[in-house]
Amino acid sequence: MAKGTQGTSSSIEMNHVFCFTIALMLTLQAQSAHPQITLVDQHKTSYVIHHAMDAPETAKLAALELQQTIQKSTGVLLTIASEPMTTPAIRVVSDGKLPHDGFEIRSAGSDIVIAGNDELISARPDTWFLPSHGTLFGAMEFLERYVGVRWLFPGELGEDVPHHETLRVAITEPIRGAPAFAARQLAGVGESDPGASLRRKTAIEWMKRQRLTNALHPFLTGYGHSWDDYLKPADMEAHPEWKSSNGEAVRKGKVVFFCTTAPGLVELFAKRVIETMDRNPTREMSSISPTDGGGFCLCERCSKLVTTDPHGKKNHAVAILTFYKQVAEIIERERPGRRLGGFVYYNYQYPPPEAPKLPDNLSLCWAPLNYYGYGLLKPLYRAEFEVVMKRWCEITPHFYYHNYSTWMRSYHGAPLPVSIDILKRELPAAARNKAWGARMIGTNAWGANAPINYLVAKQLWNAQLDVSATLDEWLQRAYGPGWKHMRQMYDELDARMLAHKEAQSPIYNGGQYEANEPVIKAIYAPLFASMEHHYRQTLAQCTKDTQRQRLAMLGDNLIQLYHALRKASLIADDGKSIFHRDDTAFATFLKEMESTMSLHSDGQGLDHGPIWKDQYGGP
Q: Is residue 238 located within the same domain as residue 330?
A: yes
Handedness of CA 120, 121, 125, 127 (dihedral sign): positive
Task: Quote the radius of gyration of the chain (alpha carbons, Å).
Answer: 28
Q: Does residue 242 sit within a domain?
A: yes
**Residue 137 sits in a domain of what CATH number?**
3.30.379.10
d(CA 297, CA 232): 17
Q: In whole angstroms, what is the distance from residue 378 CA to residue 194 CA?
A: 36
Candidate ranges 243-247, 357-361, 507-511; pick with highest mean pLDDT: 357-361
pTM above 0.85, yes or no: yes
State residue 199's pLDDT score: 85
- Between 32 and 145, the more confident residue is 145
pLDDT at 507: 86
Binned at pLDDT 50, 70 and 90, residue 13 comes out as very low
Residue 233 has pLDDT above 70, yes or no: yes
Is the pLDDT at 210 greater than 70, yes or no? yes
Q: Is residue 151 classed as helix, strand or coil in its secondary structure?
A: strand
8 A C-beta contact, residue 79 and residue 49: yes
In order of 350, 446, 601, 606, the CA distances from 513 in angstroms are 20, 19, 18, 20
Is pLDDT larger for residue 25 or for residue 5?
25
468 three-class SS: helix
Q: Could you tell me if 111 and 232 lie in one domain? A: no
Phi/psi at 596 (5° precision): -105, 175
Print the SS3 string covering 62-95.
HHHHHHHHHHHHHCCCCCEECCCCCCCEEEEEEC
Same domain (yes/no): 159, 45: yes
Give mean pLDDT, residues 278-292. Answer: 95
Q: How far apart are CA 59 and CA 67, in angstroms?
A: 12
pLDDT at 29: 47
SS (H, E, C) 374-420: CHHHCHHHHHHHHHHHHHHHHHCCCCEEEECCCCCECCCCCCCCCCH
Q: Are 392 and 343 a contacting pair, CB within 8 Å?
A: no
Residue 70 CB-density burial (10 A; 0-12 exposed, 13-18 middle, 19+ buried) = buried
pLDDT band, very low/low/confident/very high, at 124 (cuts 50, 70, 90): confident
SS3 307: strand
For 9-75, the DSSP string reads HHHHHHHHHHHHHHHHHHHHHHHHHSPPEEEEBTTB---EEEE-TT--HHHHHHHHHHHHHHHHHHS
Residues 6+ apart with CB under 8 A from 6: none
Given pLDDT bands bounded at 50, 70 and 90, which one contains residue 618?
Answer: low
Residue 155 lies in a domain: yes
pLDDT band per the 50, 70, 90 thresholds, residue 604:
confident
CA distance 447 to 592: 14
449: confidence class by pLDDT, cuts 50, 70, 90: very high
Q: Which whole number is the average pLDDT over 250-277?
A: 97
Which amino acid does the sequence have at 48?
A: V
In degrees rounded to 5, what are phi and psi of residue 40? -135, 130
Contact (CB, 8 A) for 597 and 155: yes
- Count of residues making up the chain: 619
- Give me the pLDDT at residue 125, please: 75
Does a structural domain hold residue 351?
A: no
> Who contacts 480 (Cβ-Cβ below 8 Å, separation ≥6)?
538, 541, 542, 543, 544, 547
Give me the pLDDT at residue 545, please: 98
- Average pLDDT of the chain, as a whole number: 93
Structural domains of the chain, count: 2
Domain membership of residue 357 (yes or no) is: no
Mean pLDDT of 122-146: 93
pLDDT class for 2, splitting at 50, 70, 90? very low
pLDDT-based confidence at 24, cuts 50/70/90? very low
Question: 144 and 257 share a domain?
Answer: no
DSSP state of 502: H
Between 9 and 610, residue with greater pLDDT? 610
Question: Does the residue 569 lie in any domain?
Answer: no
Say if residue 51 is in the same domain as residue 112. yes
**Which of 146, 178, 210 delimits the end of a domain?**
178
Please state, in angstroms and rounded to a whole number, the distance separating the CA atoms of residues 103 and 613: 50
Q: Are residues 74 and 154 in the same domain?
A: yes
Distance CA 55, CA 82 (A): 9
Using alpha carbons, list the distances in angstroms from residue 516 to 408, 413, 444, 618: 9, 12, 18, 13
Q: Are residues 172 and 256 in the same domain?
A: no
Assigned domain for 607 exists: no
Cα–Cα distances in Å, from 453 out to 203, 331, 444, 448, 582?
11, 37, 9, 10, 31
Buried b (16+ CB within 10 A) or exposed e, 280-303: eeeebbbbbbbbeeebbbbbeebe
Which of 321, 425, 410, 332 has its CA nearest to residue 366?
321
Q: Which of 10-14, 115-119, 198-202, 380-384 has the lowest mean pLDDT?
A: 10-14
Cα–Cα distance between 268 and 580 in angstroms, integer?
A: 60
pLDDT at 9: 45
Q: What pLDDT, on a 0 to 100 scale, did the predictor assign at position 306?
A: 97
Find the Cα–Cα–Cα–Cα dihedral 545, 488, 530, 378, rounded to 10°.
130
Of 51-55, 196-200, 311-315, 465-469, the one with minimum mean pLDDT is 196-200
- 595 lies in some domain: no
**pLDDT of 439 higher than 60:** yes
Tell me if 55 is assigned to some domain. yes
- Ranking 187-196, 334-343, 428-437 by mean pLDDT, the lowest is 187-196
Confidence band of 35 (pLDDT split at 50, 70, 90): confident
Q: With a cut of 70, say whether residue 612 has pLDDT above it.
A: yes
The dihedral of CA 310, 313, 316, 318: what is its sign? Answer: positive
Residues 6 or more apart in contact with residue 607 via CB below 8 angstroms:
587, 590, 619
Is residue 570 packed enough to be buried (19+ CB in 10 Å), middle (13-18) or exposed (0-12)?
middle
Report the greatest alpha carbon distance in the chain.
106
Instruction: Catalogue the E-assigned strands of 254-399.
Output: 254-255, 285-287, 307-308, 314-315, 339-345, 362-367
Percent of the chain with pLDDT over 70: 94
In this structure, the answer to whether residues 157 and 241 fall within a common structural domain is no
- Choose the weakest-confidence range: 26-30, 77-81, 437-441, 610-614: 26-30
Rounded CA separation 226/286 (Å): 9
Same domain membership, residue 240 and residue 305: yes
> Is the Cα torsion angle 314, 318, 322, 328 positive or negative in sign?
positive
Q: Report the alpha-carbon distance of residue 332 to residue 339 in Å, rounded.
A: 8
pLDDT of 18 > 80? The answer is: no
Instruction: Kindly report which listed range (268-277, 291-300, 578-587) carries the lowest average pLDDT score.
Output: 291-300
Query: Which of 178, 207, 238 corresponds to the end of one domain?
Result: 178
CA-based end-to-end distance of the chain: 92
Residue numbers of the domain that contains 303: 227-340
Where is the domain boundary, 286, 313, 340? 340
Q: How confident is the model at residue 497 (pLDDT cuts 50, 70, 90)?
A: very high
Identify each DSSP E strand in 150-196 by its residue range: 150-151, 159-160, 167-169, 175-177, 183-187
Residues 48 and 156 occupy one common structural domain: yes
pLDDT of 383 higher than 60: yes
Q: Are residues 168 and 63 in the same domain?
A: yes
55 with 135, same domain: the answer is yes
pLDDT of residue 195: 65
pLDDT at 7: 41
pLDDT, mean of residues 404-432: 97
Tens digits of per-residue pLDDT, 36-93?
999 999 999 999 999 999 999 999 999 999 999 999 999 999 999 999 888 899 999 9
At 247 the pLDDT is 78
Q: Which of 83-87, 167-171, 371-375, 472-476 has the lowest mean pLDDT?
A: 83-87
10 pLDDT above the threshold of 70: no
